[in-house]
Amino acid sequence: MEHFIYDNDGMGLSEEEIRQALLYSLEGRTLNNVLIIPPDFTRFHSNAGRITNIYYHALTGMGCHVDILPALGTHVAMSKEEVSVMFGDIPYETFLPHNWRTDVIKIGEVPSSYVEEITEGLWKNSVDVEINRLVMDEKYDLILSIGQVVPHEVIGMANHAKNLFVGVGGSAMINNSHMIGAVYGMERMMGKDHTPVRKIFDYGMEHFLNERPILFVLTVCTAPQGKIRTHGMFIGDTRKVLEAAIELSQEKNIDFVETGIKKCVVYLDPSEFKSTWLGNKSVYRTRMAIADDGELIVLAPGVERFGEDGQVDILIRKYGYKGRINTLEAFNHPDNQDLRDNMGAAAHLIHGSTDGRFKITYAVKNISKEEIEGVGFAAADYDEMAKKYNPETLSYGYNTLPDGEVIYFIPNPALGLWINREKF
């Protein structure tokens, strides 16, 4: 079944329209146990929190037991405060933490021959398909996979099977998919369907999860001035829900600029971005729009570490964002088994580098200048930069400052993709 709803005025679906679509998706079902897999706080603007809340109360009102397994990937578990802000009055004990190292089981393998074919020979290893064991638990009558379709640096367009194989997946799939995306080239994939990484996830869905009772609930959202607008919601158990959502997201979440941006200023909300692992979305999503020899200034008042995971933090500090070639040389060096054991981190280092094409300046409060420069970024004082480029007064897009400087301001890089039309 598929059920698609769109807003008619660009202002977003109403609460009642969303509620009725969600309730419709439950009609005719006999349910005793349901597993909901929403995104975590880093996808706050997906509206998945409100959708999860509506489902929870509808299902428990039917006498159904509900477990909620946030799709953490490698992120840290959500705090009680974050759960409350995002998901409302759902009891905290309903939320089960996902550990990508210990909570997964292998359910299959994507063969090396297929991987080599779809990557044009750039990757020749098979990929183990791992997933949180709860997804395979036969007690669940329904698994609701909720999330936002938006341009993504690793897969092209986020969500659908990614919410499962990365969000509640294991190290093999996370590491291989990220490295395959990095080697294939993020700028060949961002904003597109049918990328090599997407094909790997599609293979996993078709071969290993085809008998599980999974219902996808996908949104396409924008968040002007921080207010969530859900422009479409796509509910169903086939790939058609992803394709319809991608079509709308390409319209709503990709912004073209007519020429390369010389200076881009990105603001990272401190409640959402606490690491460069997450904050580097400012790099991924703008890199196709920034001019050669341009500069990206990242206003990051909440960034206090490099990796979400302690082990990854150590690797980022050790190897740094030093460019694709340097990272691949380090990855292939026989002394660097630690990096090969965490391909996701190696891929992240490539994604967060510019290979010298433009400059990245991080303006932070909670990491020293020496530490920022030690991983390969330029460093600036946050208060000084925020005084010059005040995120509270800048408007989205081009701004001309009192001194005549022209900058392009982005208040939340996670919600879109920016591309220089001249080079697309």
Q: Given 214, 237, 252, which residue is the final one in a domain?
A: 252
Same domain, 230 and 311: no
Q: Which residue has the tokens 């039309």?
A: 421
pLDDT digits (tens, 9 = 90+) for 236-281: 999 999 999 999 999 999 999 999 999 999 999 999 899 999 999 9
Q: Is the pLDDT of residue 424 over 80?
A: no
Q: Rounded to whole angstroms, how far apart are CA atoms 64 and 22?
A: 16
- In this prediction, residue 316 has a pLDDT band, given cuts at 50, 70 and 90, of very high
Q: Is the pLDDT of residue 21 over 80?
A: yes
Q: Quick one: average pLDDT of 92-98?
A: 96
pLDDT at 381: 96
Q: Is the pLDDT of residue 393 over 90?
A: yes
Same domain, 244 and 262: no
pLDDT at 163: 97
Same domain, 61 and 125: yes
Q: How far apart are the first and last CA of the chain?
A: 36
pLDDT digits (tens, 9 = 90+) for 351-375: 999 989 999 999 999 999 999 999 9
pLDDT at 200: 98
Structural domains counted in the chain:
2
- In this prediction, residue 74 has a pLDDT band, given cuts at 50, 70 and 90, of confident
Same domain, 56 and 127: yes
Cα–Cα distances in Å, from 278 out to 40, 65, 323, 409? 12, 33, 18, 19
Q: Rounded to whole angstroms, how far apart are CA atoms 287 and 304?
A: 23
Q: Is the pLDDT of residue 226 over 90?
A: no
Same domain, 218 and 274: no
Same domain, 265 and 189: no
pLDDT at 309: 86
Structure tokens at 203: 């293979």
Compare 325 and 117 and report the one with higher pLDDT.
Answer: 117
Query: Any idea what the CATH number is for the domain that residue 30 is in?
Result: 3.40.50.11440
Pairing of strands 142-148, 151-152: unpaired
The pair phi, psi for residue 172, each rounded to 5°, is -60, -50
The pair phi, psi for residue 166, each rounded to 5°, is -110, -50
Q: How many CB atoms lie within 10 A of CB 4?
A: 16
Same domain, 282 and 242: no
- In this prediction, residue 187 has a pLDDT band, given cuts at 50, 70 and 90, of confident
Q: Is the pLDDT of residue 106 over 80?
A: yes
Q: Quick one: average pLDDT of 164-181?
A: 94
Q: Given 231, 252, 273, which residue is the final one in a domain?
A: 252
Q: Is the pLDDT of residue 121 over 90?
A: yes
Cα dihedral sign for 101, 106, 111, 115?
A: negative
Range of 146's domain?
2-252
pLDDT digits (tens, 9 = 90+) for 25-46: 999 999 999 999 999 988 888 9
As a residue count, the chain comes to 424
Q: Rounded to whole angstroms, how far apart are CA atoms 12 and 10?
A: 6
Give the rounded percent of residues in the chain with a pLDDT score beyond 90.
89
Same domain, 240 and 274: no
Concatenating the DSSP letter of every residue in 230-291 gives EEEEEEESSTHHHHHHHHHHHHHSEEEESS-EEEEEEE--TTT--BHHHHTHHHHTTTTTEE
Q: Rounded to whole angstroms, how far apart are CA atoms 291 and 423?
A: 10
pLDDT digits (tens, 9 = 90+) for 137-152: 999 999 999 999 999 9
Q: Rounded to whole angstroms, how far apart are CA atoms 353 and 323?
A: 5
Q: Which residue has the tokens 């578990």?
A: 77
Cα 289 from chain centre: 19
pLDDT at 75: 85
Burial class (CB in 10 A: 0-12, 13-18, 19+), 361: middle
pLDDT digits (tens, 9 = 90+) for 338-352: 999 999 899 999 999
Q: Is 175:343 a contact under the CB 8 Å cutoff? A: yes
Q: Is 190:281 a contact under the CB 8 Å cutoff? A: no
- The closest alpha carbon to 195, from 183, 182, 181, 206, belongs to 181
Q: Given 252, 276, 301, which residue is the final one in a domain?
A: 252
pLDDT at 414: 87
The pair phi, psi for residue 406, each rounded to 5°, is -105, 125
Contacts of 25 by beta carbon, 8 Å cutoff, 6+ apart: 1, 3, 215, 217, 235
Same domain, 291 and 388: yes
Same domain, 343 and 223: no
Q: Which residues sit opposite 338 in a β-bridge? A: none
Structure tokens at 218: 């996908």
Same domain, 247 and 262: no
Q: Rounded to whole angstroms, how far apart are CA atoms 67 and 413?
A: 31
Query: Any idea what the CATH number is for the domain that residue 317 is in?
Result: 3.90.226.30
Q: Which residue has the tokens 């879109």?
A: 416
Mean pLDDT of the chain: 95
Give the rounded percent of residues in the chain with a pLDDT score beyond 70.
100
pLDDT at 72: 92
pLDDT at 423: 79
Same domain, 245 and 261: no
